[in-house]
Structure 1
Amino acid sequence: MRLLPFVLAAGLLPAAAAAQCGGGFQNFVKLMKDEAVQAGYDTATVNAFFAGTRQDNSVLKADRGQGVFQKPFIEFSRRLISQNRLKRGRQMAQKHDATFKRIESTYGIDRGVLLAFWAFETDYGGYQGDFNTRDALVTLAHDCRRPELFRPQVFSALELFSQGNFDPKRTTGAWAGEIGMVQMLPGDILEHGVDADGDGKVSLKTSAPDALMSGARMLSHLGWQPGQPWLQEVTIPEGLDLSLTGTARKKSVAQWRDLGVAARDGGLPDKSMRASLLLPQGHKGPAFLAYPNFDVYFEWNQSFTYVLTAAYFANRLQGAEVYDAGKPESGLSSTQMKQLQQKLQALGHNVGKVDGILGARTRIAVQKEQARLGLPADAWPTPALLQRL
Structure 2
Amino acid sequence: MRLPLIAAFALFLPGAALACGGSFSSFVEGLKSEAVQKGHAAATVDQFFANVRQDPKVLKADRGQGVFQRPFLDFSKRLISTDRLKRGQSNAKKYDAIFDRIEQTYGVSRGVLLAFWAFETDYGGFQGDFNTVNALVTLSHDCRRPELFRPQVFAALELFERGNLDPRTTTGAWAGEIGMVQMLPRDIIENGVDGDGDGKVSLKTSAADALMSGGKMLQSLGWRAGEPWLQEVTVPANLDWSQSGLRTQKSTAQWEALGVRARSGSLARGLQASLLLPQGHKGPAFLAYPNFRVYFEWNQSFTYVLTAAYFGTRLQGAPVYDAGTPDSGLSGAQIKELQRKLQARGHDVGKIDGILGARSRAAVQAEQKRLGLPADAWPTPTLLARL
Shared fold, TM over 0.5 = yes
Q: Which residue of 2 aligns with 1:115?
A: 114
Task: Describe the shift of the 1:17–1:291 C-alpha distance in structure 2 as closer, same or farther (beyond 3 A).
Answer: same
Query: In the alignment, does 2:237 pair up with 1:238?
Result: yes
Aligned AA for 2:339? Q
Q: Structure 2, unaligned stretches of length 5 or more?
A: 1-12
- Aligned to 1:332, what secondary structure does the other structure show? coil
Report what 1:5 is aligned to: none
AA in 1 matched with 2:252 = V
For 2:164 and 2:18, the matched residues in 1 are separated by: 25
8 Å CA contact retained: 2:128, 2:171: yes
SS in 1 for 2:329: coil
**1:104-134 CA distance string (max 9 Å, x none):** 1111111100000000000000000000000
Matched, 1:251 2:240: no
2:290 corresponds to which residue? 292
Contact 1:294/1:311 (<8 A) preserved: yes
Q: TM-score by structure 1 length?
A: 0.95
Question: 2: distance between equivalents of 1:157 and 1:302?
Answer: 23
C-alpha distance in structure 2 between counterparts of 1:303 and 1:16, whole Å: 38
SS in 1 for 2:160: helix
CA distance in 1, matches of 2:332, 2:267: 36
- The alignment partner of 2:327 has SS state of coil
**1:76 maps to amino acid:** F
Equivalent position of 1:364 in the other structure: 362
Residue type of the partner of 1:192? N
Task: Report whether the alignment pairs 1:281 with 2:279.
Answer: yes
What is aligned with 2:98? 99
Compared with structure 1, are the counterparts of its residues 15 and 334 closer, same or farther at alpha carbon in structure 2 (3 Å cutoff)? Answer: farther
Distance of 1:348 and 1:146 partners within structure 2: 25
Greater relative contact order (Cα < 8 A, sep 6+): 1
Are 2:276 and 2:286, in contact at CA under 8 Å, matched by a contact in 1? yes
| 1: CA distance, partners of 2:325 / 2:276 | 16
Report 1:57-206 matches (<5 A). 57-206=56-205
Name the residue aligned to 2:46. Answer: 47
Q: Which amino acid aligns with 2:53?
A: R
Separation in 1, partners of 2:140, 2:357? 24
Give, as a single letter, the amino acid of the residue that structure 2 aligns with 1:323: Y
Q: Distance in 1 between matches of 2:19 and 2:119?
A: 34
What's the offset of the Cα at 1:269?
1.1
Instruction: Give CA-to-partner distance per residue, 1:289-347, whole Å, 9 cap, x none.
Output: 00000000000001000000000000000011000000000000011000000000000
Q: Within 2, Cα distance between the matches of 1:281 and 1:259?
A: 20
- Match of residue 330 from structure 1: 328
Residue among 338, 342, 347 paired with 1:340: 338
Q: Tell me what 2:5 maps to.
A: none
Deviation at 1:16, TM superposition (A): 8.6
Q: Deviations over 1:164-205 (max 9, x none)?
A: 111000000000000000000000000000011111110000
Alpha-carbon distance in structure 2 between the residues aligned to 1:111 and 1:59: 32
What TM-score do you get using the length of structure 2 for normalisation?
Answer: 0.96
CA drift of 1:17 comes to 3.9
Task: Please report how far the alpha carbon of residue 19 of structure 1 lies from its aligned counterpart in structure 2 after TM superposition.
Answer: 3.3
SS state of the match for residue 196, structure 1?
coil
Question: 2:17 touches 2:27 (CA, 8 Å); kept in 1?
Answer: no
Q: Is the 8 A contact 1:247 1:278 kept in 2?
A: yes
**Once the two structures are superposed, what CA deviation does each residue of 1:63-82 show, in whole Å capped at 9, x if it has no partner?**
00001000000000000000
**What CA deviation, in whole Å up to 9, does each residue of 1:237-280 have, x standing for no partner?**
0110011000111000000000000001111111x210000000
Q: Which secondary structure state, in structure 2, belongs to the residue aligned with residue 268 of structure 1?
A: coil
Contact 1:240 1:259 in 2 (8 A): yes
> Does the aligned pair in 2 maintain the 1:286–1:325 contact within 8 Å?
yes
CA distance in 1, matches of 2:216, 2:37: 32
Instruction: Say whether the 8 Å CA contact 1:194–1:202 is kept in structure 2.
Output: yes
- The equivalent of 1:35 in structure 2 is 34
CA distance in 2, matches of 1:333, 1:360: 17
Find the counterpart in structure 2 of residue 309 from structure 1.
307
Amino acid at match of 2:47: A
- Structure 1 residue runs of 5 or longer lacking an equivalent are 1-13
Per-residue Cα deviation, 1:26-75 (whole angstroms, up to 9, x for no partner): 11000100110111111100000000111000000000000100000000
- Name the SS for the 1:101 alignment partner: helix
Whole-angstrom distance in 2 between the partners of 1:315 and 1:15: 55
Question: How many positions carry a matched residue from both structures?
Answer: 375
Q: SS in structure 2 opposite 1:116? A: helix
Question: Shift of the alpha carbon at 1:163?
Answer: 1.1
Following superposition, the deviation at residue 156 of structure 1 comes to: 0.2
Question: Could you tell me which residue of structure 2 aligns to residue 321 of structure 1?
Answer: 319
Partner residue, 1:387 = 385
SS at match of 2:54: coil
**Cα drift, residue 15 of structure 1:** 12
Cα deviation, residue 18, structure 1: 4.4
Q: Is the 8 A contact 1:19 1:35 kept in 2?
A: no
Answer yes or no: is the 8 Å Cα contact 1:178–1:185 preserved in 2: yes
Give distance in 2, aligned partners of 1:65 and 1:374.
36
Structure 2 residue aligned with 1:11 = none
